[in-house]
Structure 1
Amino acid sequence: MSCRACCRRLRARRTAQAGFSFVEVSVALVVAGLMSWAAFSGYETVSAQQAIERGRAEAQQLQSLVRAFSLRHGRLPCPGSAADGYESLTAGVCAAGNELGWFPYISLGLELPVQGLRARYSVLRDAAANADLAVASERTGDVAGDATFLDATDLIVGLNNAALLSMAVSRTYLTGDAGAAGAIDCAANPVTSAAYWVVVPLQDRDGDGDRLDAPHAMNSLCAASPFAPVRQASDDVVAAESPAQLAGWLRANLP
């Protein structure tokens, strides 16, 4: 074989080897990219789930505080009109008509979270039916000085009165759960009255610039059922109880 032929064959072999190495590198880069994308997607999924679990834990904590407050004071907390963490009281009393606002973190012994993560809170109030749950009222005939004057037993009576009221969108209420309770639609599917509800916002999933996701809105007495699943357009976490549920809890925990 001539030297020239040997050189041509060597160059061809080197070219083939170089081309094969380029393909290998390309495949490796593609595989690495796919693995990075999968890892990042998995991280996003895990992070979102962790945020939801934290939201659920916070909602449960706020519910426990509402219960403890009602057991001690014979009324439910008054909503905060400002996001400062305090109940909005006038001369020590929750003013008539104040049934929707911010959760009063500081009044219930908690630190105030950052603005975007503060919960909305609503409480059922109907003075005409002796069911104003945000005001301590003597409903059992006790007098000042009695051990049970203005205590949780009076709130239980108020809750029982509230349980007898027909469902109305003019009072604190819940819509469906996208399951047995029907659509999550405050206007088309009002389902049941609530003694109170707490909505803990997480991410702005519906893209409206507000962490509260539909059906929740700043001026609405409606919340989704606590059993509603997390949805693509909403990750708000809800804690709520009907008047009968809260009355049962109070009876079981009276001192």
Structure 2
Amino acid sequence: MALPRRQRGFNLVELSVVTGIIGLLSALGVGAFELYGQSRDHARAQAELAEARNALRAFLVRNKRLPCPDSSEAAGSSHLGRETPGTGTAVASCPAALRVGWLPYESLGLSLPPLEQRLRYAVYRKAGTDLTRPLPRSAEFTDQDGTAGLLATLADVTAQPGSTGQPYYKVPAGTAFYPADPAGATPACDEAGDTVNPAFALVAPGRDRDGDSASPHPRFDTVNNGFASGSSLCMANPDRPSSFRHDDLVLAESAGTLLGWLTALER
């Protein structure tokens, strides 16, 4: 009579191989999910920057100025989502030193997103060339709607030399843009190169993969920490490649670009 065959179990080598394969598949799955999340957040931030840029341009056409930043920090602020000082009408009350703050979503007709997705906003403001309050200028006809003053102010900003006293970013000198090693790709705001002052700039926070954000401004990376907290006017270069230590997105609109765009509209 034939004896029933005994079932043989896994030995240690086989068990180790199976466990390793399962671990590898799990790691691949987690990695793919993380990449998907990063790609999704990147696309969302790009769309939000484009929407905000269009809203700022529309505001500029309607009001012949750029909005004052929203300086609110606490959720209980009376001007949360609106221009400082909060009414959106008292333009003269925009604090002279206020160049960086949150994007004033409500003043632009946009929905206010959660804090971790809110865009940081900067605008060029200098005595005589304040884009939140362009001075009236003489024109062939009476400048009743402020168009001549706005165009002249943009032209003046275009002619100004780069300054660290206004919101700025650095264009590195030489051919090398930034170190290829993500661990060392943290540029200093005083590095050699040209200083560029945009008419306005927007910074969208990334996923903060290196955990280097500064409270109470979650998810902003490295060089944008000071920009997010208001302690620095320096932002990352808009063309800087994304890396582990920098996955914020920056949109910077030059005064020359706005001047050309508005001039084309006036034709």
Instruction: Give the TM-score taking structure 2 as reference length.
Output: 0.78
Alignment of 1:209-220 (within 5 A): 209-210=213-214, 211-216=219-224, 217=226, 218=229, 219-220=231-232
The CA distance in 2 between the partners of 1:236 and 1:161, in whole Å, is 30
Matched, 1:197 2:198: no
- Listed as ranges, the matches of 1:54-133 within 5 Å are 54-83=44-73, 84-89=80-85, 91-93=90-92, 94-127=94-127, 130-133=128-131
Among 230, 236, 240, the alignment partner of 2:248 is 236
Supply the AA of the counterpart residue of 1:213: D
1:169–1:50 Cα change, 3 Å = same
* Counterparts of 1:60 and 1:149, CA distance in 2: 31
Question: Does residue 1:167 correspond to 2:190, yes or no?
Answer: no
Q: Is the 8 A contact 1:79 1:122 kept in 2?
A: yes
Pick from 167, 188, 191 the counterpart of residue 191 of structure 2.
188
Give the direction of change, closer, same or farther, for the CA distance of 1:191–1:214 in structure 2 (3 Å limit): same
Specify every segment of 5 or more residues in structure 1 that has no aligned partner in the other structure, as ranges: none
1:181 Cα offset (Å): 8.1
- Which shows bigger deviation, 131-140 or 200-209? 200-209
The answer as to whether partners of 2:164 and 2:195 remain within 8 angstroms in 1 is: no
CA offsets per residue over residues 46-93 of structure 1, 9 Å max, x none? Answer: 111111111111111111111111111111111111141110148332
Contact 1:133–1:155 (8 Å) recurs in 2:
yes
C-alpha spacing 1:18/1:100, structure 2 compared with 1 (3 Å): same
Percent identity over the alignment is: 36
Q: Secondary structure at the match of 2:247?
A: coil
State the 1:136 CA deviation: 3.7
What secondary structure, in the 3-state scheme, does the structure 1 residue paired with 2:122 have?
A: strand
| Matching residue of 1:155 | 150
AA in 2 matched with 1:112:
L
Alpha carbons of structure 1 residues 33 and 178: separation in structure 2 relative to 1, 3 Å:
farther
Question: What is the distance in 1 between the residues matched to 2:176 and 2:129?
Answer: 25
- Relative to total residues, which structure has the larger helix share, 1 or 2? 1
Structure with higher Rg: it is 1
Number of positions where the alignment pairs a residue of Structure 1 with one of Structure 2 = 240
On the 8 A contact 1:163/1:243 being kept in 2, the answer is yes
State the partner residue of 1:226: 238
1:207 corresponds to: 211
Q: Distance in 2 between matches of 1:85 and 1:179?
A: 41
Aligned equivalents of 2:12, 2:168: Cα separation in 1: 65
Alpha-carbon spacing, 1:243–1:151, altered in 2? closer, same or farther (3 Å):
same
CA pair 142-125 structure 1, distance change in 2 beyond 3 A: farther
1-structure distance, mates of 2:147, 2:253: 16
Change in 2 beyond 3 A, CA 1:26/1:188: closer
TM-score, scaled to structure 1: 0.82
The SS at the match of 1:223 is coil
- Preserved CA contact (<8 Å) 2:101 2:120: yes
- Which residue does 1:53 correspond to in 2? 43
Task: Return the offset for 1:192.
Answer: 1.1
Unaligned runs of 5+ in 2: 74-79, 179-186
156 and 205 in structure 1: CA distance in 2 versus 1, 3 angstrom threshold: farther
Q: Report if the CA contact (8 A) 2:91-2:133 is conserved.
A: no
The answer to whether the 8 A contact 2:223-2:236 is kept is: yes
- Going from structure 1 to structure 2, the CA distance change for 1:80 and 1:193 (only over 3 Å counts) comes to same
Displacement of 1:152:
3.4
